[in-house]
Structure formats: C-alpha cells, structure tokens
Amino acid sequence: MRREQSHLDAAEVIAPKYPNALHGVDDNVPLPELTVKAPSGEVAKRNRRDFERREGAIEVRLGRHVPGKGWFGGGAVAQGALHVPVFDQADNYLNNRRIRAFVLARIIEQLPGSGRLVIVGHSLGSVIAADLVRRLPTDVEVAGMVTIGSPLVNSKFHVDGLRGILKEPPMNLAWWVNFWNPADPVTTHRGISSVFPWMIDLGYRPRSTSTSMTR
C-alpha cells in the first residue's frame, strides 16, 4: 500500500519566539501600523459574501459551526484570571504597549514580505494573531487563520478595540476557524463567533480525559 505524500511536507514553518519579551523589554519600537484597509460600502459587502462562501466550504469539510453557549459568570472568571501571577504574560501584552509593539514587530520581521501564509495561534497567541492580521505587509495573503482555545470572546482581550478593527473580515484573510474545548476555562465554554460573526467556531474534545492549560 503506497502512502500518498502530503503537500504540506514541503511547507515552511515559521515559529517566532517571544516568551521572554512578554515579561518585559528594553527596546522601544513603534507599534506596527495597520496596513490592510478596512472594507466599506459595496467592497465590504462583496468581501463578506466571498468570505462566507469560503467559510461554508470549510464547514462542509470540517463539520458544522458550533458556537457554544458560555458559562454563567464565565467572563468575570476570565477577566479575574488576568490578575493571577501565572497569567502575567497575557496581562502584559494587553496593557503594556511597549511589550505589545515589540512582540508584533518581532513576528513581522521574521515573516516573508510577500506570499501566502496560514496563521496558527493558541490561547494568548490567538489574540496576537487577531492583532497581527491587519498589520502584515500588503503583499502577504493570509490563506487561512486557525485559532485554538481563544479568550477573544471576552472584551478584556480586545486590545485597542480589536472588535471594532475586525468588524468585517480583513481583505487579506481567506478564512478563519476557531477550535474550542468545552472543558477549557479560558474559552468559558464557547467560541468567539459571538464577537466575530463572520468566522467559524468548532467545538472539540481531546481523546485523552486529562486537560491542561498553557499560557
């Protein structure tokens, strides 16, 4: 039986390192500007239709959209967690502009100036991914974005009005799928489509009965 080679075998994986920066930085770099204009008028309507068509095709392949209902009081729990020392990296990214600017600039400098990317972000990484997508070079096309265990349903994580910035699908983004685990307290038992209604949420349960949380 011959094994078919995946076309992903030749894909380049870029994994910028920035954990130390989340504890503090000495550099004072400017916050990368928004490079991708927000669509408006007929352009926004056409972009939204095209985006939802692509999302529909993704849903056919991966399964139906599952937004979740959320835990009562879950938002307060998620916000309170930011004051726990173990989550200080998330709090620093959200509230220290110098750290946030350094992290975004560090990621951008390691990416190609043109071509197609698939962005993957977990937990705080999903917040950074959403913050990053409209700041990429104009010749970079985001072929897709995958977020996992995202806290973006909570307004506390909408750094600099992220919800408003992503009111419509960015012009450079082909699709966005978010995976959430009902047992993960970070997601408060729901996805993020209640905030970004144009993307797809998929609930999942790991095969293992054990769970873990990563920052």
DSSP letters, 103-128, are: HHHHHHHTS-SSEEEEEEEETHHHHH
Its pTM stands at 0.85
Comparing 2 with 170, the larger pLDDT belongs to 170
- Domain residue extents for the chain: 39-203
Residues 114-171 have pLDDT tens digits of 999 999 999 999 999 999 999 999 999 999 999 999 999 988 899 999 999 999 999 9
CB 92 within 8 A of CB 99: yes
Kindly tell me if the per-residue pLDDT of 79 is higher than 80: no
Please enumerate, as own/partner, the contacts of 59-64 that have beta carbons within 8 Å and a separation of 24 or more. 59/200, 62/177, 62/200, 62/202, 63/202
